[in-house]
Amino acid sequence: MLDESSVAQGDPVTAARSLLELSQPELRAEVQKLLARTPALSSNGIGQSLHHADDALARARGVLGSSLGEEQVRRCLSWLAQSGVNLTQVARQRLSSMDAKHVVERWHDPRRTWNSYVSNGSLIAACLLTGVQVVGIEGSQNAWVGLVAKAQVSSSPWAA
């Protein structure tokens, strides 16, 4: 069960660690609850692209709520829990969900063997589940996320 107090207190590291302790079905249930509260969220991001078929949002929501989506959200939570999260207001720092998603992939796979794919939506979901500020970018499925880049943390040039 997610420790709601860690999200309410604005501590994404503690919230991410709490979520990582959940079993696969329990974390998938948390993602599915988030999907129910956030109708525009899908594996593609947040909002509907003008370039996708009408049923694409429903299909992409299904992917995020599946075991594959849960696995990708878990990778993002792992990054949030271990990379030295620094929060900021989106108005002060402009890190897009797409940029952050690529950082997560590189953090999980520094040798670029391509075993660490995460969707834009899984990064956004992990941020929302842990209380990181997320602001949709108008006309895009990307979002601004309230995370700050740091010089060097572990093997990654970026950190949350």
What's the CA gap between 141 and 115, in Å, rounded?
24
Burial class of residue 124 in the structure, from the number of CB atoms within 10 Å of its CB (0-12 exposed, 13-18 middle, 19+ buried): buried
- pLDDT at 155 > cutoff 90: no
Most confident of 8-12, 70-74, 138-142: 70-74
Q: Which of 58, 59, 61, 64 is nearest to 28 (CA)?
A: 64
What's the CA gap between 4 and 144, in Å, rounded?
23
Q: Where are the domains of the chain?
A: 4-145
More confident residue, 109 or 44: 44
What's the CA gap between 123 and 72, in Å, rounded?
8
